[in-house]
Amino acid sequence: MAVTIKSEKQIALMREAGRLLAITHDELHKALKPGMTTLEIDRLGEEIIRDFGCVPNFKNYNGYPASICVSVNDEVVHGIPTSDRVLKEGDIVSLDAGLIYKGYHSDAARTWGIGTISNEAQRLIDVTRESFFKGISFAKEGNHLHEISAAIQDYVEGNGFSIVRDLVGHGIGTHLHEDPEVPNFRIKGRGIRLAAGMTLAIEPMVNAGGWQVACLDDDWTVVTEDGSLSAHYENTILITKDGCEILTMV
Ligand code: MF3
Ligand code: CO
């Protein structure tokens, strides 16, 4: 599939899809507390998204059974919410959510601490978020895609953490996953030349230990192989003539 350039009309719809997802994340963040189950997070997220008249795009995507991916501690991404997984003080939890507004997708992830967390866990969360911003400082018409990738990796590794290699970011639009793939690590070649109107989901996944991951028997939950903590941060962005616009932040 070719990389698509969105028209002004399509961009307006992507902006609204992003704005509504940003609000969803804010609401979920406010609701987080020790004792909450990951299924309660999923229920609340789905309710917020449906109240907007939108559709949760993860639900049933390749058979994924929930609306929100909830990944706790050593879980990297795609954790499946359940009624027996209870959040406790000191946990870190990654919430990955997406929605469809009038046919257009948005996708964003945040990692939060539950109550008081260790300094190292907070540093992991902060470095993961900051790596996204280091990456998008290269998101601009005329630059090449892998400049974003390299900036993310360099920042993460410079802070002593590692970047997951088995999963990557992606183009987004009328589909959740469009071309191009957006690696968070150095890769051969410069990647495509960025052009105004491209919309991308940039999503560094960062481990406190090694970069290796494994998949649990549920066929979804990705965990760190060494049991170390992992964080995830993602926004949907629009490439513009002189930079980028973050669509999933208000
Ligand atoms: N942000 C994730 C991604 O871009 C969410 C998809 S998970 C699934 O791949 F549940 F929808 F499969
Ligand atoms: Co994504």
- pLDDT digit string, tens, across residues 107-148: 999 999 999 999 999 999 999 999 999 999 999 999 999 999
* pTM confidence score: 0.98
Instruction: Give the span between the Cα atoms of 75 and 157, in whole angstroms.
Output: 20
**Residue 95 CA: which ligand is closest?**
1
Please check whether residue 205 is in contact with residue 163, taking contact to mean a CB–CB distance below 8 angstroms.
Answer: yes
Q: What residue owns the CA closest to ligand 1's atom 10?
A: 58
Which of 42, 49, 77, 200 maximizes ligand 1 atoms within 8 Å of its Cβ, making it the mutation to test the pocket? 77
1 pLDDT band, cuts 50/70/90, is confident
Q: How remote is the CA of residue 214 from the centroid of ligand 2, in Å?
A: 19
Instruction: Give the span between the Cα atoms of 169 and 11, in whole angstroms.
Output: 19
Q: How remote is the CA of residue 186 from the centroid of ligand 1, in Å?
A: 22
Q: How remote is the CA of residue 111 from the centroid of ligand 2, in Å?
A: 14
DSSP 22: H
Instruction: Give the span between the Cα atoms of 133 and 148, in whole angstroms.
Output: 9
Residue 195: the pLDDT is 98
Please check whether residue 207 is in contact with residue 230, taking contact to mean a CB–CB distance below 8 angstroms.
Answer: yes
Q: Which of 232, 213, 201 has the alpha carbon at shortest distance from 72?
A: 232
Token duo for residue 161 = 């953490």
Instruction: Give the span between the Cα atoms of 55 and 37, in whole angstroms.
Output: 22
Q: Which residues surround ligand 2, an ion (CB under 5 A)?
A: 107, 201, 203
Q: Which of 217, 6, 187, 226 has the alpha carbon at shortest distance from 105?
A: 6
Q: Is 58 in the pocket of ligand 1 (CB under 6 A)?
A: yes
Residues 41-62, mean pLDDT to the nearest whole number: 99
